[in-house]
Amino acid sequence: MICLKFLTIVIFLTNCLLSFSQNVGLAPGLYCGLKTCYEVLGIDRDDFTKSELSRLYRNFAKKYHPDRVTGVEEKKIAAARFREVATAYETLKDDETKQFYDHYLDHPEDRYYNYYQYYRMKAAPKVDIRIVIIVTIILVSAFQYLSAKQKYSEALSYAITVPKYRQLATNIAVERKLISYDLKENMDIRGGYKKESFYDTLLFQLIIFPYTFVKLIYWYGRWYYKYNILNKELEMEDKIYLICKYLDMTESQFHCLEEYEQDLIFERSCWIKENAKEYKNDKDREEKEKLMKSAQYRRYKRYMKNNAGNTISFLDD
């Protein structure tokens, strides 16, 4: 009978304790556990400053640092207390974290919200994400610039070995009456191997993005008004834009074509989609004919003809 009464009292006290913990909103795995962070640091919830908080943390850290204690058990107790103080300080020093913590104390019924905010803040990066983005942009821009510089140097090194460009540079030197000439100053290298420029980096492009966006809107508006409403004839640069669009090439690639090929494209009015498609088909046909007439292709055909039976097969005869 006495044991039954004792067991009943224990169960009652346990339920009271659990009820109290749930009402206050304290959970063993969140923040400072079954204590409030204010109790851990010994401060009033509504009456403390950041400087006071830092001073208390430094004092507690010195007092409970494991290196200042001797003995195995004492070190364990000090380490646990040190972690408790550090958790309380990290929770209260940040305004956003403190706001979520106060909500956790005042609204224990928002259990899922409190758990979500706790683990979200715990997993959040400690470094300002804006700094990370800025540093990343700078590093990418530096890589773009150095990569472009290396490619341009490779293109120059190749151009010097080509007789065509050496002769061109010589002619320029003769025309300008120069004793020596600088190939770098007279080369027109475009595309992926053009001269490096800060204006092509990601950082600069992001800086001028508003201007680029407005310019793009203006360009489309001008195009629609000029050619869809007024029905004017296409200008040369607009023809080149459509030619590059329909022939799947960049403007740099178009300007690198031989003059006779550019003239042929204009003669066939390749700024019209149907004409451009027909021109591409003709070019593909020409390339196939050249391939069939090449010595390498003929050797391949002879090889296939002479070795037609020498194949491996897993099919049954």
pLDDT tens string 50-59: 888 888 888 8
Residues 114, 148, single domain; the answer is: no
pTM exceeds 0.75 for this model: no
d(CA 146, CA 79): 50
pLDDT band at 227 (very low <50, low <70, confident <90, very high): confident
* Average pLDDT rounded to a whole number, residues 300-310: 62
Which of 9, 86, 3, 74 lies closest to 40, judged by CA? Answer: 86
Q: Look over the chain and give the mean of its residue pLDDT values, rounded to a whole number.
A: 77
Residue 291 binned pLDDT confidence (cut-offs 50, 70, 90)? confident
In a domain, 51, yes or no: yes
pLDDT given at position 49: 86
d(C-alpha 150, C-alpha 142), whole Å: 12
pLDDT digits (tens, 9 = 90+) for 177-205: 554 444 444 444 455 556 667 778 888 88
Question: Considering the domain boundaries, does residue 213 fall inside one?
Answer: no
C-alpha pair distances (Å), 134 with each of 143, 196, 200, 227, 276: 14, 22, 17, 42, 44
Shared-domain flag, residues 169 and 144: yes
Strand partners, 47: 44
- Across the range 213-220, mean pLDDT stands at 90
pLDDT band at 274 (very low <50, low <70, confident <90, very high): very high
Has residue 17 been placed in a domain? no
Alpha-carbon distance of 24 to 16, in angstroms, equals: 12
Do 114 and 131 lie in a common domain? no
Do 239 and 285 lie in one domain? The reply is yes
Given a cut of 70, whether residue 160 has pLDDT beyond it is no
Domain holding 47: CATH number?
A: 1.10.287.110
* Of the residues 123, 156, 189, the one at which a domain ends: 123
Token output for 58 = 């430094």
Given this model, what pLDDT does residue 112 score? 85
The tally of domains found in the chain comes to 3
C-alpha span between 25 and 176 (Å, rounded)? 87
If one compares 288 and 166, the residue with the highest pLDDT of the two is: 288
45, 77: one domain = yes
**pLDDT score, position 162:** 66
What percentage of the chain carries pLDDT values higher than 90? 5
DSSP run (H or E) holding 71? none
What is the C-alpha separation between 32 and 315, in angstroms, rounded? 73
Output the CA–CA distances (angstroms, integers) from residue 54 to 83, 88, 96, 118, 185, in the order listed: 15, 11, 17, 22, 62
- Decide if pLDDT at 172 tops 70: no
User: Looking at 123, 151, 181, which one is the last position of a domain?
Assistant: 123
Range of the domain at 173: 127-200
> pLDDT tens across 246-270, in order?
988 888 788 878 888 888 999 999 9
- Asked whether the predicted pLDDT for residue 317 surpasses 60, the reply is no
Indicate if the pLDDT at residue 311 is higher than 80: no
